[in-house]
Structure 1
Amino acid sequence: MTTKERKNEIKTNMWQYAMAEQAKFSDPNFSSTTWKETPLRGASLTPSSVLSLIDARATKEEGNTFYKAGKYRKAIAKYQSAMRVFLGKDATLPSLEYLNEGYLKLGDGVVDHMQVIELTACAGNVAQSYVKLYEASRDVEDLIALIDWTEEIRIIYECLKYSVMPEAPPWRRFHLNVIEYFTVPIKRFAGISAVFKELGNTSLAMMYITLASNYYVAAENVADASKAKALGNLLTDLFNLGKIRHPEPLLYAAMNITQPKLQIRGTWKKLEMTGRKAPGKSCLSCWIWNGRLYTAGGMNDVYMEQRDMWCLTLSTMKWKKLPDLPPLRPTAGLYTSRPMRIWNGKAYLFCGMQKIWVFDCATEKWSSLATKLQGSWPYPQNELFAYTSTILEGKLYVFGGDDSVTRLGTDIFMELDLETLHWRHISGSSGLSPHRSRPGLRVFTQLFAVPEQRKLYLCFGDANRSQAERCGHPAGHHTDYPYDDLWSYSLEAQAWKRERLRGNFPCLRAEHSAVYNPHLKRAIVHGGYNADMSSATRFTFSFYSDAYVFNPENGIWQQVITRGFPTYRAQSALVVDPDTGITYLYGGWTNSDYYPSKVILNRTFDDLWQLKLDTDGGYFEEEEYDIDTRSVAHGPWNQCFSCKKLDVSLKKCMGTCEGLVFFCSKTCQEKGWTEHKEAHGCRKRS
């Protein structure tokens, strides 16, 4: 096959893949709409908007002149000045707010659509200028600015949609019938995808290249569509990224830290436990109190809810069986999760009823408490699962979940004072009632508290559209909608705020685990599931095993770069020992694409890992990081020490190294023996 034929094949594959992605969104709720549901006409220009356009375009041309001369920072200043023609001279750029008031006015009927195009074009030009600056300097601040300005394009478009349709569900698409509306995001999203791929964040690279491809396909019926088609060569990575896992073992094994502000070194240490072990489960509750790790409830391999409860003494690594959870209305399927939260030695279990269950960790006994709410109870079936919760300042906060009515998930946000046992219904309702001012309807999201800020953070999650479709809900669809958003709730302001995603952040996902480590002053996110990202051989969804660290002070995310990692998983538990600051990962589940098996389709885990991070108090050990990647597990796979092949059926070395390395054949063992002997001091057993 010639080079030209190979390129044509890649383009064909890419187009077919993009069309398949677009086909997922063929339901009415996903169809694109134009401004106010009507076509746009240039005749709507007003004299004032014409003058603004002339002024902005003239300023933009000055920026173009600087850009062509290689004076990129001066070009950036001009492009920002052009944007301020529409936003006001004091507008902060890039926007500090995701739901920016200036952008939210773009669809109010006064602003002309060409102003939106000019704003987007200028934002794209700023991003391109930072591309040039970063290529020359490799300075991390230029890289962060490039990421911020690429996100600015998404923010402009999201705000435009919500200004026109403030109560639209997030999966509703919106576009203007102007070709420039499509070409800017195609260029910029494809470009930033390559940047994240270079950083090792392949899942986020895949997300952006998919976004670019969606605009590429949606532009097909717009006038001058050939301008978008000419950009098809930018999307050739779509097909390749769509075939790998995240992280991809061979790519990840070769990763090094290139931008310490956006990457952080880490190691995973698998901990050995003795005696009878707690059974593997997903969706489990997990917490640490007084040197013991507790697990309760969850789902087994065949998706049945379990009531057993265990604790692991961390100093001896021995398990102990505890009294079962109280009788609950049993459920089956992948959707049951009832997280228990610890406060002052007592763990609280909420199931959607006004009665809550309490487990006293000291006496190891269960009791129940009656709670009160002024007004009507928001859960019509007295049931809730797949929700998230956390405790801050003696109050239990509950968000989202499945109330057995909407099935998409809810946006109900509740607060229970654990002293007075009085509930407060803060926001949301059962039913389809989303609004741009608060997080959308979802299940399997994560809520964590940052006491220093007196804030709660809510990240990612899933609108369970497939379950809604099975129940005949009008918003149902065969593919779930994974969220890629981050929200904060301030106890002082008593309000939600959608936060910008900055730095090297996770891609859209649900069923992930998250925890705030008060010793590190950082939140950690690991793994999860994405119903809408194909990266395997048989299934059109993804499981992850990547990890990220979030700094609430500056909003910057870092990806954790490790040597080896636990098997890809969702619905696991990430917990922090409040006394030592050690971060643990326990349990979860995956399927046979991510844990190869000819016998089982799904598998739950009973393993325990410690995550060590290269920061003060992170328990990082240099010698555990600076090791041969051929001697560590990459998910379920080991790597042949000789040929580097990844497989689950490799044979351990039987020498004195105690199985430190693996070989795929007798031939590879003979070829690699000398190197292994010198590197690891292994000898043949007598």
Structure 2
Amino acid sequence: MSDNVEHAGYILNFYDRPSRERGDSAFDLGNYFAAREAYISACYALLDDENVSIPLEAGKSGGGRQWQPYIRPDPLLKTFLMMCYNQLARCAIAINHSQEALTWLEEARFVWMTTRFSLNTPLFEWIRHNIALPQLTKELVTAHALASDVFELLGNTSMAVDRRYNIGVESIITPEATRIRDTGKLFRITSLRHPDPSLTASARVTDPELQVMGSWRKVHVRKKGPMKPRLGFAGFIWNGKLYIGGGLGETKGPFYRDFCCLDLAQPTTWRALPSFPQPEGRTGVWLCWSFALHEATARAYLFTGTVQVDFFDLVAEKWHTVQTHGLREASRYRGIKVFEDNAPLCNFKDSTQQVVGDFLYVFGGTHHLTKMGSNLFLQLNLKTMVWRRLSGEMTAGEKADYTCPGPRKTPSSWVDGKGERFYLIGGEMDRSGGQDMNERHAADCGYAYEDLWSFDLKEEKWRNERLVGNVPCPRSEAACVYNPKLDKAIVFGGYNPAFGTQFENNFFPFAYFADTFMFCPDESRKWSVPPPSGPASNPKIFSNPSTAMSASQSRSSITSGIFSTPVTPSSILAPSSTQPKSIAKLSKATNGKWKHVLTRGFPTYRAQSLLLVDPATGKTYLFGGYVNTDWVPSGRPGSSRTFCDLWELRVDVRRVDGQGEEEEGWLEGMGEEERERVLEEESRTARVGPWQRCFACGSAGRWKKCGGSCKGRAFFCDEECLRDGWKQHKQMHGCRKL
């Protein structure tokens, strides 16, 4: 330990110690912008590379190897770099700039992540790689704890839990790091659902750079007709109609091979279409397949892992089959002869697919050789019907490949508005599923990916993107779609197999979500600029003793304890320049930013649902899915509950209409009074997951609906609340007794 401390002191003296000391002094005085400039200077001195701009941005291509400025330094130098990034985050927190704080905290975490990229044997993400250096561990845990606080302040409770629960260094955590982690706070936030009904009634945008207001509206279909609740189905929207096929009714069945459509302009009833004609003996059950819509030919392709690809002719409303070529060579299948010519990807499912022009792209999924997931990336030319391999393998190898995404099932994807990049996010390496087949890397628990990749469709290279902004937590089986009218990608719900949740006396090592996020490719991170003067403390975060600190404590933190006293700065002593020099040195470009869509009501927590966009109207719809009944109160615990409900998502951002004109956002066109009225009504009447909110007291539960002329528009938890809220309900909804 003494050798480490001596070495640490040498590094600190060698790499611009005066800059960091100036930062510490300015921080203690509450001069946060001057402190930031000093800490940034110290970071550049530590990196010692004039060609580097921080935060590091994703290059044109490449995976982990592109982060050389963070790979090269030794662990102690990385420790000081992380310390500076954490201090930069504290400066941003003090001036209420959450976006900048999250940027620096992610940078600190990313420095730690790059330690695996310098190893001679590349490791998969689910293999924990830790350096037994207490100082490095402390800075990582500090970054996670601070990020958890910021995310919680923003209402992103799922990321708040993930940052504090999946800390990543459990095997070498020290008593000091345990205090920073704050197990008391961890226990409190793991008791929340995401979103939690107790927190959504008053949801409001407090940081427009990281949040946007939205609303979920249930679409009432008069008659379900042939449509049944299901999971693992496939679907798409074409010509104003929603098409849904296949899937599983409940955990034990039945498996569906039906095909139905619903007119979204007049959603009166589902109409039955010809069922999928291929026998299960050729394709396996219709579960977790994907439709690939080719607009130019009005065909919906259904790839089931065989050389024969089926498609539905949307004009003639008939099924057909087309023979493809080169699938065995593209998948690099080396198995037994019976599969070589017909089904090299037998029992194929759980992939993500996109059509761009005349090409179908297929990533990941499971098949007869793996239940865990793969990273095989294929392309099918829909004119020549010839397959090509773009990257990846059918099964996970012994070593990781840092140039492309890792093996996974049920990831999410979209293609940008220009048709230039294929984006991939999340998914799961189902290690527990691999135990049945004794697969390499099989284990007791699955791993949910926390990454974002994009594939350049012209250069055919992967790029490991940075996660910027108010990001969704790691998850698989999430609903995802790109909305061209908004030029935004939207993610809803999903599942994480390694996410602690504590409900009363029951602990669940998994979670289902109902939160909504939006990826904004045209928005970049913004850096705070100093005001002329004025106070800038953030008591909501600095009041937490486990994350508050003074810079003098930080100076000794390499050998001493946790920061234990709150910071209560009196004012900001802004630099004389209105634009600090430090801002000019920071990275300007970014490849998009995430925002949390705040909704006061929301569909039930679920996975394997489907988000779809009607290209003509730009409306975003959600259909179906499932949830474990242990997660949502039910009379049948230990099973799954499936859905066939339909919802529409409205988001308060501008969009382009059918004539190319820009329309105002959902709330933007309203006056202040009308906006408040709409939000107030939604907070009192909107469904919150599996529960209703009492119109009078606001509690969430299985309450009784009003029996008046409003036809159940409001709910009440008891007779007392009915009496208390009746007058206001009558005025708001025009209800009368029947």
TM above 0.5: yes
Q: 2:666 aligns with which of 615, 620, 641?
A: 620
Task: Using structure 1 for the length normalisation, give the TM-score.
Answer: 0.86
Q: 1:130-529 counterparts in 2 under 5 A?
A: 130-134=92-96, 142-164=97-119, 167-212=122-167, 214-215=168-169, 217-220=170-173, 225-232=174-181, 234-275=182-223, 276-304=225-253, 305-317=255-267, 318-329=269-280, 336-343=287-294, 344=296, 345-373=298-326, 375=329, 377-378=331-332, 381-383=344-346, 384-433=348-397, 434-452=400-418, 454-529=420-495
Q: 2:76 aligns with which of 100, 103, 114?
A: 114
- Cα distance change of structure 1 residues 268 and 349 upon mapping to structure 2, 3 Å threshold: same
Cα distance in 1 for partners of 2:694, 2:179 equals: 43
Q: Is the 8 A contact 2:210 2:469 kept in 1?
A: yes
Aligned to 2:548: none
Matched, 1:550 2:519: yes
SS at match of 1:118: helix
Q: Is the 8 A contact 1:84 1:90 kept in 2?
A: no
Q: Is the 8 A contact 1:40 1:177 kept in 2?
A: no
- Cα distance change of structure 1 residues 209 and 65 upon mapping to structure 2, 3 Å threshold: same
Cα distance in 2 for partners of 1:92, 1:376 equals: 39
Deviations 1:243-274 (A, max 9, x none): 11100011111211111221111111111113
Deviations 1:28-64 (A, max 9, x none): xxxxxxxxxxx99759979xx9578622434322322
Deviations 1:264-315 (A, max 9, x none): 1111111111331411111211111112110111121135432111011222
Structure 2: gaps (5+ residues)? 336-343, 524-591, 656-663, 668-674
Q: Is the 8 A contact 2:331 2:393 kept in 1?
A: no
Task: Using structure 2 for the length normalisation, give the TM-score.
Answer: 0.80
Aligned to 2:566: none
Q: Is the 8 A contact 2:478 2:491 kept in 1?
A: yes
Q: 1:21-170 counterparts in 2 under 5 A?
A: 42=4, 54-87=14-47, 88-97=49-58, 103-104=67-68, 111-134=73-96, 142-164=97-119, 167-170=122-125
- Cα distance change of structure 1 residues 80 and 492 upon mapping to structure 2, 3 Å threshold: farther
Letter paired with 2:611? L
Cα distance in 2 for partners of 1:634, 1:182 equals: 39
Cα distance in 2 for partners of 1:290, 1:472 equals: 46
- Distance apart, 1:628 and its partner CA: 4.7
Q: 1:621-660 counterparts in 2 under 5 A?
A: 622=675, 624-648=678-702, 650-660=703-713
- Cα distance change of structure 1 residues 471 and 166 upon mapping to structure 2, 3 Å threshold: same
Count of residues in Structure 1 that have an aligned counterpart in Structure 2? 628
- Distance apart, 1:627 and its partner CA: 1.5
Cα distance in 1 for partners of 2:30, 2:285 equals: 55
- Cα distance change of structure 1 residues 190 and 471 upon mapping to structure 2, 3 Å threshold: same
- Cα distance change of structure 1 residues 43 and 194 upon mapping to structure 2, 3 Å threshold: closer
SS at match of 1:309: strand
Cα distance in 2 for partners of 1:597, 1:332 equals: 34
Cα distance in 1 for partners of 2:463, 2:686 equals: 42
Aligned to 2:640: 602
Aligned to 1:4: none
- Cα distance change of structure 1 residues 330 and 401 upon mapping to structure 2, 3 Å threshold: farther
- Distance apart, 1:328 and its partner CA: 4.9
- Distance apart, 1:103 and its partner CA: 4.6
Deviations 1:403-452 (A, max 9, x none): 22132200000111111111110111122233122111100001211141
Letter paired with 2:58? E
Deviates more, 1:301-310 or 1:439-448: 301-310
Letter paired with 1:209? R
Q: Which runs of 4+ in 1 moved over 6 A?
A: 43-46, 330-335
Among all aligned residue pairs of Structure 1 and Structure 2, give the percentage whose two residues are the same amino acid. 32
Deviations 1:365-401 (A, max 9, x none): 1111111228354355432211110011221000000
- Distance apart, 1:70 and its partner CA: 2.5
- Cα distance change of structure 1 residues 566 and 680 upon mapping to structure 2, 3 Å threshold: same
